[in-house]
Amino acid sequence: MFQKIFFTLFATFFFVCAFAQVNTEFDKSIQKNRKGEIIITGEPGEIVKVIQQKHEFWFGSAISSGVFQENSRMSETDKNIYKEKFQENFNSAVTENSVK
């Protein structure tokens, strides 16, 4: 019984330490690759509004194959809205189930 408890505690401790190490590596990677500096000049108390114009990170989603099919259940208006909204929010895409 003691051996089971000891092993369970040791295994738990090992995985917690390993997870903490992985998180530390993730944090370093985020600091290096996904963050940058911005310098804002202004008067104290001045209201500042910052809007990101673009980014280098590929942000995507699965796109419905119905958008590209002539005989899909989507109307042309819906297809156009879908494409417009997709391009507003994403810069990368993969197809859903059309090639499975």
pLDDT at 8 over 80: no
**C-alpha pair distances (Å), 49 with each of 19, 41, 52, 53, 79:** 37, 12, 10, 13, 34
pLDDT at 43 over 60: yes
**C-alpha pair distances (Å), 73 with each of 64, 70, 79, 94:** 11, 9, 10, 20
What's residue 58's pLDDT?
83
Taking only the tens place, the pLDDT of each residue in 45-96 is 999 888 877 777 788 888 887 787 887 888 889 888 988 999 888 888 888 8
Beta bridge partners of 63: 95
- The whole-angstrom distance between residue 97's C-alpha and the CA centroid of its chain comes to 21
